[in-house]
Amino acid sequence: MRYFICDKKANYKGQHLVHTLFCPSLPHENRRQIVGRFDNCKQAIEYLYSLNKDTGFKFIGCKRCNQS
């Protein structure tokens, strides 16, 4: 299991990137939201959507650290 972090600030497409804890592209500490421990990025994103059902937020895995 790995720890996942979500960027509180959306990118230019309106997506919040989900990173692993040791990703070289982690956002600044002020923009990090700890998601928790999951087997993969897909599970972390599903969890984020379950917490934000009616918000319209979009989540996507960081391509740099989530190869699987």
Instruction: Check whether 68 has a pLDDT greater than 60.
Output: no
Name the 3-class secondary structure at 50.
Answer: helix
Q: How far apart are CA 14 and CA 30, in angstroms?
A: 18
pLDDT tens for each residue of 7-35: 999 999 999 999 999 999 999 999 999 99
pLDDT of 18 reads 97
The pTM is what? 0.90
The structure tokens listed for 40 are: 């993969």
Q: How far apart are CA 46 and CA 60, in angstroms?
A: 10
The structure tokens listed for 23 are: 């990703």
Task: With cut-offs at 50, 70 and 90, classify the pLDDT of residue 67.
Answer: low
pLDDT of 64 reads 84
Distances (CA, A) of 37 to 1, 19, 44: 6, 12, 8
Q: How far apart are CA 66 and CA 20, in angstroms?
A: 7
Percent of the chain with pLDDT over 90: 84
